[in-house]
Amino acid sequence: MFVIEEFDIKLETEKIGRNFIYTEEIDSTNSYLMNREFNPPDGTVVLAEKQSKGRGRKDRTWNSLKDVNLTFSILLKDNRHFKTNFNLINFSAALSVAISIENLYQLRPELKWPNDVLINTKKVSGILLESASKGEKIERVVIGIGLNVNQNIFQGTYNIPPTSLKLELERHLDREILLAELLNNFENLLHKTRLKPDWILNEWRNRCRMIGERISITDGEKTITGIFDDIDDDGFLILRQGTQTQKILNGDVSSA
Ligand code: BTN
């Protein structure tokens, strides 16, 4: 059971999560907030105990057991946030997950480009950012976050081995406190993407252990290998091959 009052008492945001929709079951919290016929206020958060069609990046599915994890989406409509590259919004979301885990549980999560959160090399959280535009104008951005909290076992096949906070800490965690901490951090970081983007980029770099290492990047049928040199000011990956560097926009990164 998710006790909304327990979450609400810890929420310190101005906008994010102030309109909070809790649901037992839904197809996907991202799809729900992307529906143009539905126009809730900026900062609305939808949390579902179970998604029947939870989606991940690259048309993958996001599987999460009922009642034990956090699967939710955040709606942004304020176009002040849309001037930076969306990679920075992704980084803010991943950082808010990592920083919340650090603050509450003293673990040291690792960030993986573009927007995964790992603990002990296993994936604990993934982020799916989607946007809708009318002509040139971006009308909404939806940031979906799946965070494995109290799940005990993972069955099936995964791109990266999964884990949960409970498996790492060997204790049951309070989802209400975690969600409030996460949204508090996210609102803070979201303002920083506009005001202090270099701070976001550096905090992200500090938690990405693959920078400087040899990596492979797979996008569809294509795989390239090189050194993960850095991320650029827009959050794209810079891959070095000998004396040449190239900017990577998309793909799955793994150690090579
Ligand atoms: C990924 O790692 O590929 C991204 C996973 C994103 C999953 C979350 S769960 C809440 C929201 N609703 C969805 O359908 N997907 C995102």
Query: Could you list the mean pLDDT of each consecutive 10-residue stretch along the chain, which spans 256 residues?
Result: 97 98 98 96 98 96 97 97 96 98 97 97 98 95 98 94 98 98 98 97 98 97 97 98 97 96
Q: Which residues line ligand 1 (CB under 6 A)?
A: 28-30, 51, 54-57, 60, 62, 71-73, 116, 126-128, 144-146
What is the set of domains in the chain, with CATH numbers? 4-206 (3.30.930.10), 214-255 (2.30.30.100)
Q: What is the C-alpha to C-alpha distance for residues 248 and 117, in angstroms, rounded to an integer?
A: 19
Residue among 200, 187, 185, 186 at smallest CA distance from 234: 200
Angle between helices 86-105 and 197-206 (to 10 degrees): 60
Q: What is the C-alpha to C-alpha distance for residues 254 and 225, in angstroms, rounded to an integer?
A: 10
Amino acid sitting at position 24: E
Q: What is the C-alpha to C-alpha distance for residues 214 and 254, in angstroms, rounded to an integer?
A: 9
| Closest ligand 1 atom number to CA of residue 126 | 2
